[in-house]
């Protein structure tokens, strides 16, 4: 009997193992081993930089010294230091990219031009407060999805036919229009749409001209737009605009004025070695109401509600060889009521028929792909109908109506 029971138990065990084995296999198949979470690639970081230094000589020198021991080239901003060795611009830029997202931080320094950046400017050796330092020129995050690109933070202006970095321009110095009519940078947001490979449209909303804050007096934002069309490799057309609240020194209700600038830029590749460009601007301020104003050099009040200006730049560039080019710029600006205060000569808003212009010739040679040297001569003039004919009536050194500035510069881009 016991042998029979043992035999039955053995058969039952074998049957049970045969049935349970497929079930265990199915259970194991139903719960696969855990897989590792997908890894996200770290951002790719690229670092760029620029070192730009110059020496300029003002042939109308020996006069204007706005700061003790310092002579300044009137009407010039980025290469304003005369008869001195100067840092035109030092930049360090970090760009991080991860998928469709990009982050940019760019630091900048100049000896003379503050570029509207807090903490950057003339140091105590120039006879003013110790404010020299490095400022944040750009700091923004950007995301691209399909044909749209969204950007938020601080970014350089979309206006102008030139950029802050002189080695990226045809001429070393900057035009009057670039220096006095538009911001260097803006803080806010922008959305760009690539309609097709030849056409893009961008809208901007910012705190104003070089403003980190939209002050309490500025209840409205500054808005802007850009339409860029490149129909072929020969032509490019750009329409720019900016409009927002601004202050005008010396006027009542300085926070109530609307300041706007419209711009047309046309670029033309005339030949493989010859390029031409035009930059035309029209702008001004609108008070929204009339007011009575007595200009500093006038005896009777004027009734005003708005004031306008206009200017034109013509550019030409001849590529003499693969590493050498010659560039010219001709410029004329009409500012009837001195809205721009180009020369800062103290006459102020309301001066009658202020005009300014310049002619610039620049020779640039690239000794390596990164290192260039430029020789430049810039002739700047001003004219207004209210000058008395005395030397003090003109803003240039020794009261002259013009100045001639020669500059030698060197730049290294990495």
Please spell the DSSP secondary structure of 274-341, one letter per residue.
EEEEEEEEEEEEEEEEEEEE--TT-SS-EEEEEEEEEEEEEEEEEEEETTEEEEEEEEEEEETT-SS-
Model confidence at 347, in pLDDT bands (50, 70, 90)? very low
In sign, the C-alpha dihedral spanning 156, 181, 82, 407 is: positive
Mean pLDDT score, 360-380? 97
Model confidence at 67, in pLDDT bands (50, 70, 90)? very low
Q: What's the pTM value of the predicted model, to 2 decimals?
A: 0.82
Q: Where are the domains of the chain?
A: 141-413
Question: For the segment 378-392, what is each residue's pLDDT rounded down to a tens digit?
Answer: 998 877 544 443 434
The DSSP letter of residue 18 is: H
In sign, the C-alpha dihedral spanning 296, 301, 304, 308 is: negative
Q: Is residue 346's pLDDT more than 50?
A: no
Residue-level pLDDT at 16: 39
Range with top average pLDDT, 70-74, 86-90, 236-240: 236-240
Q: What angle do CA 292, 296, 298 make, to 5 degrees?
A: 70
Give me the half-sphere count of Cα atoms (radius 13 Å) on the Cβ side of residue 343.
29
Percent of the chain with pLDDT over 70: 70
CA–CA gap between residue 60 and residue 75 (Å, rounded) = 13
CA–CA gap between residue 365 and residue 410 (Å, rounded) = 10
Question: For the segment 183-232, what is each residue's pLDDT rounded down to a tens digit?
Answer: 999 999 999 999 999 999 999 999 888 877 766 555 568 999 999 999 99
Q: Is the CATH number 2.40.50.140 carried by domain 141-413?
A: no
Q: Is residue 299's pLDDT more than 80?
A: no
Which tops the pLDDT comparison, 129 or 140? 140
């Amino acid at each position: 009997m016991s042998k029979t029971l043992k035999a039955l138990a053995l058969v039952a065990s074998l049957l049970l193992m045969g049935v349970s084995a497929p079930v265990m296999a199915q259970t194991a198949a139903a719960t696969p081993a855990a897989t590792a979470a997908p890894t996200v690639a770290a951002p790719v970081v690229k670092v760029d930089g620029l070192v730009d230094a110059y020496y300029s000589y003002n042939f109308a020198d020996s006069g204007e010294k706005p700061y003790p021991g310092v002579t300044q080239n009137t009407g010039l901003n980025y290469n304003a230091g005369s008869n001195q060795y100067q840092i035109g611009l030092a930049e360090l830029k970090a760009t991080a990219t991860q998928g469709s997202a990009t982050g940019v931080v760019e630091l900048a320094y100049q000896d003379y031009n503050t570029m509207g950046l807090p903490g950057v400017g003339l140091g105590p050796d120039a006879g003013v407060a110790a404010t020299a330092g490095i400022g944040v020129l750009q700091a923004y995050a950007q995301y691209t999805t399909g044909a749209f690109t969204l950007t938020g933070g601080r970014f350089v202006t979309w206006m102008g036919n030139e950029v802050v970095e002189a080695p990226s321009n045809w001429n070393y110095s900057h035009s009057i229009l670039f220096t006095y009519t538009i911001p260097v940078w803006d803080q806010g947001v922008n959305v760009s749409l690539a309609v097709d490979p030849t056409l893009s449209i961008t809208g901007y909303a910012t705190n104003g001209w070089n403003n980190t804050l939209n002050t309490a007096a500025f209840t409205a934002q500054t808005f802007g737009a850009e339409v860029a069309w490149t129909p072929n490799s020969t032509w490019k057309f750009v329409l720019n605009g900016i409009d927002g609240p601004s202050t005008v020194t010396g006027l009542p209700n300085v926070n109530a004025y609307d300041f706007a600038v419209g711009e047309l830029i046309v670029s033309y590749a005339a030949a493989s070695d010859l390029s031409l460009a035009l930059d035309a601007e029209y702008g001004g301020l609108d008070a929204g109401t009339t007011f009575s104003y007595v200009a500093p050099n006038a005896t009777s009040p004027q009734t005003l509600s708005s004031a306008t200006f206009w200017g034109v730049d013509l550019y030409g560039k001849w590529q003499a060889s693969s590493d050498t080019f010659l560039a010219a710029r001709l410029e004329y600006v009409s500012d009837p009521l001195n809205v721009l205060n180009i020369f800062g000569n103290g006459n102020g808003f309301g001066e009658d028929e202020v005009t300014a212009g310049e002619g610039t010739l620049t020779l640039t040679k690239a000794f390596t792909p990164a290192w260039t040297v430029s020789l430049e001569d810039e002739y700047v003039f001003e004219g207004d109908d209210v000058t008395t004919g005395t030397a003090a009536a003109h803003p240039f050194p020794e009261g002259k109506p013009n100045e001639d500035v020669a500059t030698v510069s060197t730049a290294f881009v990495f």
